[in-house]
Structure 1
Amino acid sequence: MNMPSVDLLPIREVARLTGVTAVTLRAWERRYGLVQPHRTPKGHRLYTPDNVEQIQTIVAWLGRGVAVSHVRELLSRPNVSLDLDDSPWGEWRRGLLEGLLGFDAERADRVYNQAMSSYPMQLACERLLEPAIADLELRWNGQFGDAVERAFACTWLRARVSARIYHNNCLQPGESVLLSNLSEDSCQPGFWLLAAMLSQSGRRVELLDWSIPVAELGLVAERQPLQAMVLYGSQALTNEQLRRELPALMQQANLPVYFAGPASLIHHTGLQALGIVPTGESPCGAYAWVNQELRELS
């Protein structure tokens, strides 16, 4: 095959630019005939700028609730009217909840893997994982059985996200984004969802999954090249953290610092006064904010 004269991008770079993983891009191509890249003599995929634009269009349609199986028809016939009610998210959410509440990791994995192979990570978090977790947290109100259900769900999510981050980090040398959980309770699904999305956006992510003195985080910035620091808190901060530890960190760390989770709403004004960017409670909203700012800074 003769290669076009335009710049061609490898699949890893396209995944970084679009937020769609290489696994998902290959699945779109094989299962649905979407985004046909050029191939090198050895079979490696190379994408044109037009391919990248088409991927961004596909992501936009998926964000509007169109099932991936219908996107090809929309691309070929822009004026076609489709029924959006067959979106898989509702069924997947029910399946994931039934798997987690039934302590059935295999069933939860089937839903998770299907969603992750067909849709971008940010969309899967927005439409599947974050709503499912919100449903679970409404259910957990101190009744008998809540503790073991919560432990199972959090352990399941941590294991899947940790594996994904480890794999992605192996492909991403250079500066890291440090994500630190300041919550007293280490079972924080929002922390892990935010970590997953930051990792999938092409950033190396390092995690500290339990609360430590905030001022000590500056040592990480001294010893490792960091692009930014994201703090996550699920409850109100202590006076010690607000008046001494966070100011000490900001004096020591010469890099952007963001604060995500419910605590970013509780202390919005105080965090801003320290030069810390509060990003809101939602992991998806926090990711969108941090990712956009880091893109502008890079």
Structure 2
Amino acid sequence: MALYSIGDVAERCGINPVTLRAWQRRYGLLKPQRTEGGHRLFDEDDIERIEEIKRWIESGVPVGKVKALIEGENVNIDDGWFALQEEMLAVLRLVRPSKLRTKIATIGKENPAEMLIDHVFVPIRQRLGLDQNTARAMCSLLDGALIDYIAFCLTGSRKKAGKDALLIGWGLTDRTRLWLEAWRLSQQGWRIDVLAEPLDSPRPELFPGQHIFVYTGKAFTKRQQEQISHWQAQGFSITAHGH
């Protein structure tokens, strides 16, 4: 039977080697063979298992719950995401930026960006937003670490093949959410640049020849939808992102 290196499997399955190692070491999801030198070797059965793990995760299952599902156990998926939120909050309460950055990077390697945005980071920020005192400082600390990590991810995505685009906040007050959406788009094959300061009007004529995504953080109004259609009719490549 053919055997493949971790680099070959990562390229074939579209999974970072760091993630494959985490799936093995931390979650016991993989059991590759080893060369005499200790290098991992994967066979076709391993690759099928990796694809199965990917399907579970992409369907919204936290990576920590996947092994139980594969083994046929009953699992509450929502509990898994809530547990990850609690882990993040516990690290946040330490008020140690370096530990927070490490935690974000770790879960960022192990879970799809879209799932982390929707099931971990947005809910945590909403929970922190309910408290106007200490939690506001904690949320600000989290936002800084998130933007730092997302900027790193966007830089990496620009080195890959893809389509260039600019993300603009339109009347948006939550700047961190803009960066989270930039991260989401970068995972969909876009090489994203972010206009860090939201605008009252995107003014696509200032960015000729560029594809533009606009994000409002809420449902687009009828007037905004009409304005986007008007810009498109004028030949601008502009798309409403999100709602």
**What TM-score comes out, normalization by structure 1 length?**
0.60
Q: Distance in 1 between matches of 2:241 and 2:230?
A: 16
| The one of 116, 123, 147 aligned to 1:158 | 147
Q: Which amino acid counterpart does residue 220 of structure 1 have in structure 2? A: F
What are the superposed Cα offsets for residues 109-136 of structure 1, whole Å, 9 maximum, x if unpaired? 3432332232222222233212212212
Quick check: 1:89 aligned with 2:81? Answer: yes
**Structure 1 letter corresponding to 2:207:** V
Alpha-carbon distance, 1:239 to partner: 10
CA contact (8 A) 1:176 1:203 kept: yes
In structure 2, what is the equivalent of residue 276 of structure 1?
Answer: none
Q: What letter matches 1:105 in structure 2?
A: P
Structure-2 separation of matches of 1:215 and 1:83 = 45
| 1:183 and 2:171 matched | yes
Q: 1:68 to 1:150 in 2, by over 3 A?
A: closer
CA deviation after TM superposition for structure 1 residue 210, in Å? 1.3
Q: Superposed, which structure 2 residues align to 1:27-176 within 5 Å?
A: 27-29=22-24, 31=26, 32-34=28-30, 51=47, 54-62=49-57, 63=59, 65=61, 67-68=63-64, 71=67, 75=70, 77=71, 80-84=72-76, 88-100=80-92, 103-139=95-131, 143-144=132-133, 148-170=137-159, 172-176=160-164
Deviation (angstroms), 1:231: 1.0
Q: 1:34 corresponds to which letter in structure 2? A: L
Q: Which runs of 5+ in 2 are unaligned?
A: none
Residue pair 1:21, 1:120 contacting (<8 A) in 2 also:
no
1:201 aligned counterpart, secondary structure? coil
Alignment-mate amino acid for residue 156 of structure 2: H
For residue 209 of structure 1, give the secondary structure of its aligned residue in structure 2: strand
Task: Provide the rounded CA distance (Å) in 2 between the counterparts of 1:144 and 1:33.
Answer: 41
Q: Tell me the distance in 1 between the aligned counterparts of 2:232 and 2:156.
A: 31
SS in 1 for 2:154: helix
Structure 1 contact 181–191 (Cα < 8 Å) conserved: yes
Q: Matches of 2:114 and 2:165 in 1, distance apart?
A: 17
Question: % of aligned pairs identical?
Answer: 19
Shift of 1:207: 1.3
- Could you state the TM-score of these two structures normalised by the residue count of structure 2? 0.70
Counterpart of 2:145, as a letter, is W
Q: Which runs of 5+ in 1 are unaligned?
A: 261-279, 281-298
Q: Is the 2:169–2:195 Cα contact (8 Å) retained in structure 1? A: yes
2:183 corresponds in structure 1 to 196
1:196-275 to structure 2, matched below 5 A, reads: 196-212=183-199, 214=201, 216-222=203-209, 224=210, 226=211, 229-234=212-217, 246=228, 248-255=230-237, 257-260=239-242
Between Structure 1 and Structure 2, how many residues are aligned? 236
Moved more, 196-205 or 54-63: 54-63
Counterpart of 1:292? none
